[in-house]
Amino acid sequence: MTGDALRRVGCAGLVGAAATAVVAVAQVAALQGQPGDDFTAYLPPGDGKALVTQQCTSCHDLQGVVRLRAVAAEWETLVLDMGARGAPIMLDDVDPLVKYLSTAFGPNAPPFTDANAATNADLTRLPGVTPQAAGRLIAARSAGPLTSVEQVRTALGLDASAFEKIKYYLYVKPVEPAGNQ
C-alpha cells in the first residue's frame, strides 16, 4: 500500500483502522462507523462482493475499503496481512478477493465522494457528472443535507443507467436516529 494511494483518496488509509479492527472490533466500529452503516451498500456488484461482505465485515466496517484505491499487489498485501492478523480468510479466497477489490477499488475507480461535502471539481471526477449536474447537486444541498441516494440521483439529473455507474462511489451520510444527535 503506498502513501500516495492513500492520499489520492483524501483519506489517510482507513485500512489501517480496519486492521486495528481485527483485534478491537467494537472499539474501531465506534471510531469509524456511522451508526448502522457498515458501508456494504457501497460495494459494486462483482464475483468477490459476497466474500468481502462476509469476511471483512466479520471484523470491521468497510469504510476503509471503499475509500481506498490500490493496485492488485497492494490489495494482496493487505488481504494477506488481514488473514495473518486473524481475519477468517481462507487461502482459496485470496485471489477472488484481490481480483474484486482491485477491480472495484483499483487506481482507476471513481473516488469515494461525500455527496454532502464534495465540491464541483470533486463531483466532476465521477464518470458522467458534468459541471452543470454537479452545480445542481450543490444547489440542492442548500435546502439541507441530502439523506438518500435517490435524492442525489434526482439532483444530478442522471437516468438509472448512468447513475448505476457511480452510485457505489457516492457517500450519503445516514440520518441519525432522533435523540442520538
CA atoms of 127 and 156, how far apart (whole Å)? 12
Give the Å distances, CA to CA, from 61 to 14, 89, 116. Answer: 10, 16, 21
Q: Applying CB under 8 A, which part among 50-58, 99-107, 136-144, 168-176 lies near other proteins?
A: 50-58
Least separation in angstroms between CB 73 and other proteins: 9
Binding mask 61-100 for other proteins (x = CB under 8 A): ---x------------xxxxx-xxxxxxxxxx-x------
Question: With respect to other proteins, which residue has the nearer C-beta, 4 or 164?
Answer: 4
CA atoms of 37 and 140, how far apart (whole Å)? 24
DSSP 40-107: GGGPPSSTTHHHIIIIITTTS-SHHHHH----HHHHHHHHHHHHHHT----GGGHHHHHHHHHHHTST
14 scored as a contact of other proteins (CB under 8 A):
yes
7 scored as a contact of other proteins (CB under 8 A):
yes
19 scored as a contact of other proteins (CB under 8 A):
yes
37 scored as a contact of other proteins (CB under 8 A):
no
CA atoms of 174 and 61, how far apart (whole Å)? 15
Out of 43, 51, 52, 55, point to the residue binding other proteins (CB under 8 A).
55
118 scored as a contact of other proteins (CB under 8 A):
no
Q: Pick from 132, 128, 136: which is nearest to 165 by CA? A: 128
C-alpha grid cell, residue 88: 477468517
The site that binds other proteins (CB under 8 A) totals a number of residues, namely 45
41 scored as a contact of other proteins (CB under 8 A):
no
Q: Pick from 140, 92, 70, 142: which is nearest to 150 by CA? A: 140
32 scored as a contact of other proteins (CB under 8 A):
yes
The residues that touch other proteins, with contacts defined as CB under 8 A, are 1-4, 6-7, 10-20, 22-26, 31-32, 54-55, 58-59, 64, 77-81, 83-92, 94
